[in-house]
Structure 1
Amino acid sequence: MSPEDVVLSIKRAARELFRKYGYNKTNMNQLARQAHISKATVYKFFPSKELILHEVLMDYIRENVEDILSLRVQGEDLASFLMSTILKVSRVTYTVCNEFVGWEFIRESTNAQEYLKTLSDDLEFLLLSSFIKNEIIASTVPEEKLTFLIKSSKNIVFSFAFTAVTEADVRKNFISFQKEILPYLVEATLA
């Protein structure tokens, strides 16, 4: 197996196990067994389970962001495009944290919170660089204003993800974010 194939096998196994059992309940022995390689080989490519999680989450988010942004600004104005893109990416991020990690673990673990900060920063960089690659956005909105929109949206979404108790709370918070907060953030970005 080539090194690329080994990495893909580990990430595929991790994605499946994290979704099925959650990050906290999956161990490196299970990952190695699922990937059909030795535990030492897993550690050769990923020194920690957290690094595997990061790769899996960023791959998933990157794929979804590329799909979302590939739709371009066609039938809608720039403000609507920015709002729908931010909302879709926020939902993807929430879903991926919910499915792969579990919010209970994130809320209760200091290490998970530190990791979430890293994920949040990487997501911010990914979104900003993706927006800048979009010709219409890059030519219309200054980078510092895009940074404002992304940081503000990301912080709001992560804060209600940490404080929501039920899925109904999450839905209510997303609706509030979509209708009451995001339009003002986009308006300030485009002003």
Structure 2
Amino acid sequence: MEDKIVIAIKKSARELFRKYGYNKTSVNELAKNACIAKATFYKYFASKELILHAVLMDYIEENVSDILNKHVNEKDLATFLANTILKVSRVTYTVCNEFVGWEFLRESANAQEYLKILSDDLEFLLLRSFMQNETISATIPEERLTFLIKCSKNIVFSFAFTAVSVGDVRKNFISFQKDMLPYLVEATLL
């Protein structure tokens, strides 16, 4: 069970990052909203980036678990994999947009380094979650799942960085779903 202070800090971060964005929220504001001293914040999280990471990974992990449980009864394994990858990609894009904002991520060198860490942790989370599914772990070798996850993740992050508008993002997701994902899933299941 998480410490009460960690829970308060995470709750504060979720609220303030959503309301003002990561870049416009200070550690002072996070501590004040959590009803703790700034020094206490730093006792639990060495930086604002680390609390962002904790909040994003908690949110993504909850959603990955829900997605996997809801789609476990898909018609076939290919449909299950495609739907899961697509939904997790959307969740990841949305949560980065909500808490951080893609404009900030595109413009900040530090944010891009952080995004690499988030991307790697997301890959590990997805692979671990898929491998815990008995049907998947018995059917698909881990290196093929890694291929599917890496390719999908790289495609989604690349169009998140290049999209100019929400409409562009929507078109890119549709293109990913129809033109790329079926081939990635097929290659994974060979």
Aligned to 1:9: 8
Aligned to 2:174: 175
Give 1:10 shift.
Answer: 0.2
Give 1:74 shift.
Answer: 1.6
The question of whether the paired residues in 1 share the 8 Å contact of 2:102 and 2:161 is answered with yes
Using the alignment, how far apart are the partners of 1:80 and 1:171 within structure 2?
21
Aligned to 2:153: 154
**Deviations, residues 65-88 of structure 1 (Å, cap 9, x unaligned):** 011111253241000000000000
Query: Which secondary structure does the structure 2 equivalent of 1:70 belong to?
Result: helix
**Paired residue type of 1:21:** Y
Equivalent residue pairs, number: 190
Aligned to 1:136: 135
Aligned to 2:189: 190
Distance verdict in 2 for CA 1:36–1:186, change over 3 Å: same
Using the alignment, how far apart are the partners of 1:15 and 1:74 within structure 2?
32
Give 1:3 shift.
Answer: 7.2
- Are 1:22 and 2:45 an aligned pair? no
Using the alignment, how far apart are the partners of 2:74 and 2:46 within structure 1?
46
**Deviations, residues 142-181 of structure 1 (Å, cap 9, x unaligned):** 0000000000000000000000000000000000000000
Aligned to 1:165: 164
The question of whether the paired residues in 2 share the 8 Å contact of 1:73 and 1:136 is answered with no
Calculate the aligned-residue CA RMSD, in Å: 1.1
**Deviations, residues 55-110 of structure 1 (Å, cap 9, x unaligned):** 00000000000111112532410000000000000000000000000001000000
**Paired residue type of 2:12:** A
Aligned to 2:119: 120
Using the alignment, how far apart are the partners of 1:123 and 1:152 within structure 2?
13
**Paired residue type of 1:177:** F
Deviation >3 Å, runs of 4+: none
- Percent identity for Structure 1 against Structure 2: 74
Distance verdict in 2 for CA 1:184–1:3, change over 3 Å: closer
Using the alignment, how far apart are the partners of 1:61 and 1:15 within structure 2?
13
The question of whether the paired residues in 1 share the 8 Å contact of 2:130 and 2:136 is answered with yes
**Paired residue type of 1:140:** T
**Deviations, residues 15-50 of structure 1 (Å, cap 9, x unaligned):** 000000000000011001100111110011001000
